[in-house]
A = this chain, B = another copy of it.
Amino acid sequence: MWPEPSPRGAFTLRRQRLDALLPGPKLLPAGLSRPRNFAHNPYPFRAESHFLYLVGRGLEGALLLVDAERTALYVDPPHPDDALWFGAKPGLAELSRELQIAVRPLDDFVAPDGVALLPPQDAETAFLLADRVGRDVEAGGGDDVTGRDALLADAMIELRLRHDDAAVAQLRQAAAVTCAAHGAGRDATLPGRREAAVRAAMEHAIIENGMTTAYGSIVTVHGEVLHSTEHHRELRPGDLLLADVGAETPEGFAGDVTRVWPVNGRFSSTQRALYEVVLSAQRAAIDSVRPGVRYRDVHRAAGLAMTRALVDVGLFAGDPEDLYARGAAALFFPHGVGHLLGLDVHDMEDLGDRAGYAPGRSRAVSRGDRYLRLDRDLEPGMCVTIEPGFYRIPALLADPDSLGDLKSSLSFAMLEKLADVRGIRIEDDVLVTATGAEVLTASIPKRIEDVERA
C-alpha cells in the first residue's frame, strides 16, 4: 500500500472551522529541521502538528496565517541552488494551486496586531517568531499559553479532539501499516537473533510503505522497562518479546500498537496465564468504551479486571474491589490505560494536559492514576489507545511505599512461580463511534492461539 493524501478540501474546511471558532488573526508555524551532529546533517524534518492539521504538508520554515480573507501561507521561494541539491521545487503560484490556499513570500509576512500563536517545538523557530510578533515565544511552551494564545489552543483542541473523515482515513492508513510492521516483526523473531533484528524488520515494513515511525520503537525482551530504547539483547527460547511500534502517515497521523509474543513460538503456562490476565483487562477496557463514558472509568475497568484475573491466578488473595482500591493493579500496571491518538502519538501533548483533561479535571496524585494522560468523557470521533500491562518491576516490588499493606495479600510464592514474565502490554488503537467503539488495529493477532507459531 502507499499513503493516500487527504482531499485538499479537508484542509480548507479545517481552516474555516478554526476561523469560525476563534475569529481574528492566528499564526501557525511549520517549524524548522533540527541539526543532528552539524547543520547540514539534520534530523528528518517533521512539521508542527497544528500546521500539518491545517495544511497537510510539512513545508519547512513556513508560516500559516488564518484570518478570514487574509488567510495565507508564507513560504520561502525556492532558492536557485535548490534545484541542484534538492530538485526543482514548486514556485509560489504552483504551490498555491496545489494546496488551494493563497501563498506569499515569507519576507512579506507582517504580524497582525494581537495575533494568536502556538509555540513551536524548536528554539530556532521560537526565536524567529518572537522577532516577528514582537513578544516572547518559548519553544515547547504550549502547556503554558495565556490570553488569545490559550483561546487558540482551545480551538485547536476543539477541532482535533474528534477526528473528521479525513483524519479517520489517515488513522486507518497508519493502523494498516502498523499491522504490517507487527506481522513482519513476528516473522523475524527467532532464538539467537537480537532485538535489533526484529526492530529492523518492523521499521522495514514502515519505510517501504512510505511512512515513518511515529515514535522511538520499543522492541525488547525487557518489557518491564516501559520505554526501553535498547535493542542489543539476544532473543532466547523462553523469552517474551514486547514490541511497541507504530507508523506515521506523511500527513502526520500515528498508529500505536503493542504486542507480545514468545521467542520460540510457544507461551509457557505461566506466560500464558499472565498474558490472559492482561488480555482480559484490555477486553474489559475496550468493552467499556462508548460515547459518554469517562476515560478514567475505562482505566478503572482495566485495573479492576486485571485485579480480578490476578486473584484468579492466585497472585493476590482477597476481594478484587478492595484490592484494587488498595493499589493492587498499580503495583503491576503503574501507568495509564491509554491516551489520545491522532497527529501525535500522545495527541496534542504539546499543549500539556489541556487536551487530555476536560476543563475542571486534573491529574490524580494516586499511584494508579498519576500517569493517566486522558480523562475526558468519550465522544464519537475520538481515538484512544487501550494498553494495559503487567510488569514485574523490581524497584516497585522492593519499595515499601508501593507495596504498602498489599504485602499481606500478595503471594510471593506465586510471584516466584511466574518469574518467566518480565513485562506484557497489549495495546490497540480504538475509535469511539456513535454507539460504541471500533478497534482500528484489530487485524494484528492477539489471541494466544493466533500469536503462537503453528
Contacts and interface: CB of A to CB of B under 8 A. Distances in A.
A216 interface: yes
Nearest to A52: B37
Contacts of A109: none
A98 to B, nearest CB: 15
A40 interface: yes
Contact of A37 (B80, B200, B230, B252): B252
Nearest to A214: B41
B121 A37 contact: yes
A231 B210 contact: yes
A196 B207 CA distance: 6
A206 B207 CA distance: 13
A121 B87 CA distance: 27
Contact of A208 (B88, B194, B208, B252): B194
A46 interface: yes
A21 interface: no
B37 A34 contact: no
A350 B42 CA distance: 12
Interface centre among A139, A199, A207, A350 (most CB of B within 10 A): A207
A122 B123 CA distance: 8
Interface residues of A, number: 67
A383 interface: no
A394 to B, nearest CB: 8
Contact of A84 (B80, B142, B393): B393
A344 to B, nearest CB: 5
Contacts of A395: 80, 83-84, 88
Chain A interface main SS type: loop
A139 B123 CA distance: 10
Contacts of A204: 200-201, 203-204
A287 interface: no
A39 interface: yes
Contacts of A227: 85-86
Nearest to A206: B200
A314 B384 CA distance: 64
A338 to B, nearest CB: 15
B35 A121 contact: yes
Interface of A: 2, 34-44, 46, 48-49, 80, 83-88, 121-124, 127, 139-140, 142, 194, 196-197, 199-201, 203-210, 215-216, 222, 225-232, 252, 334, 343-346, 349-350, 393-396
Given A35-B122, A41-B349, A84-B393, 14 more contacts: A34-B43, A37-B48, A37-B343, A40-B346, A42-B216, A44-B216, A84-B395, A84-B396, A88-B395, A123-B127, A194-B210, A200-B203, A203-B204, A203-B207
